Amino acid sequence: MLTESASPVAVIASDVGQVKQKKPLVRRLVQDRSQRIRRSVQFAFLALNVWLAIEFLQWTHYFESAGHARYVERPAGLDGWLPIAGLMNLKYFLVTHHAPAIHPSAMVLAAVFLLSSLLLKKAFCSWLCPVGTVSGYLWKLGRKMFRRNVAVPRWLDIPLRSLKYVLMAFFLFIVVSMTAEALNDFMVAPFGIIADVKMLNFFRNMSMTGVTVIGSLVVLSVFIKNFWCRYLCPYGALMGMVATLSPVRIRRDAQACIDCGKCTKACPSSLKVDELVQIRSLECTSCMECVAVCPAAGAAQECGVGCGSVEESRGAATSGGGGVGDCVIRADWGGASDGALADEYSA
């Protein structure tokens, strides 16, 4: 039996019908100010750390000069640069219920930073961390100078990212395996007492090996986005693990989204935001750059996992009731709306 073949006109019509229709753009009415606020917070925290470093230099100089220099109090905030001591003291406190005698501020700051990851994902990395701030401006400098950054291929990117988790596991193993007595003995030992001075002397009397390592990290950070943060920072890896329990995450409204791809291009962590519903990747730092560049009202949001309906989001966005900009930033702490973990390479 002869079969009737489809006419060319019918085939073309069928192909045209399968082409994705362009969605209408409902523009945001209120300008997004999240990145202006973030930059202000970043530079304020960077300035705070510079002040802490100057105060600490004056404090050490007083003792190095045998009391002839002007005396200043040691800044407690400097303990934030001792994350391992902070984790050790935190375990000591949880086991013994006694505050540690040495570097107690390190424990408090470590607990605050971890709690912030539980509530706001890795916002510490993109809003507060001075290393993250410098790293972010280094790759932006590279993009301005060379008009692009190096895109690490996936087959290399994934194993490189595992390095920070290996380092995290190593340090956590040391902390967890030590008893409370061993932790206390280590902290009250001479090395534990002057761990901050040891850190200072590392930078003041840096060896050629140290200069080479630091210089290599700076150069790599110019060419590759957030090289240290993405591949080597064990503290960021720990915060990423804690952030998986956070009820807050970036959500893309597929109905309001016009598929322009601007969110994916803006993401410093190279996440495919335009293909996901919720961003649950360990690499998401809640920098909100994807929300800031989104031109569609209510398409990109940062909210709790129990966010309201699409209609509610659109209504709030178009009326300007979305808080920062009109991206409908909300914090509803309801039940999970999307059970599957969304990886940056999956739709």
Check whether 312 has a pLDDT greater than 90: no
* CA dist., res. 125 & res. 344, Å (int): 18
Give the DSSP H/E element, type plus range, for residue 250: strand 248-252
* CA dist., res. 321 & res. 281, Å (int): 28
- In the DSSP assignment, the letter for residue 251 is E
Check whether 339 has a pLDDT greater than 80: no
296 pLDDT tier (thresholds 50, 70, 90): confident
SS3 303: strand
Token code pair at residue 232: 């080597």
- What pLDDT, on a 0 to 100 scale, did the predictor assign at position 304? 58
Q: How does the average pLDDT of the chain come out, rounded?
A: 83
Helix (H), strand (E), coil (C) string for 36-86: HHHHHHHHHHHHHHHHHHHHHHHHHHHHHCCCCCCCCCCCHHHHHHCHHHH
**Comparing 121 with 25, which gets the higher pLDDT?**
121
Compute how many other C-beta atoms are within 10 angstroms of the C-beta atom of residue 69.
Answer: 14
**Global pTM value:** 0.79
- What pLDDT, on a 0 to 100 scale, did the predictor assign at position 104? 94
Which among 127, 138, 120 has a CA at the least distance from the CA of 228?
138
Task: Locate the domains of the chain by residue range.
Answer: 23-35+247-347, 75-241
pLDDT digits (tens, 9 = 90+) for 125-166: 999 999 999 999 999 999 999 999 999 999 999 999 999 999
- What pLDDT, on a 0 to 100 scale, did the predictor assign at position 299? 64
Whether residue 330 contacts residue 308, with contact meaning beta carbons closer than 8 Å, is answered with yes
CA dihedral 177, 183, 185, 187 (to 10 degrees): 140
**Comparing 9 with 275, which gets the higher pLDDT?**
275
21 pLDDT tier (thresholds 50, 70, 90): low
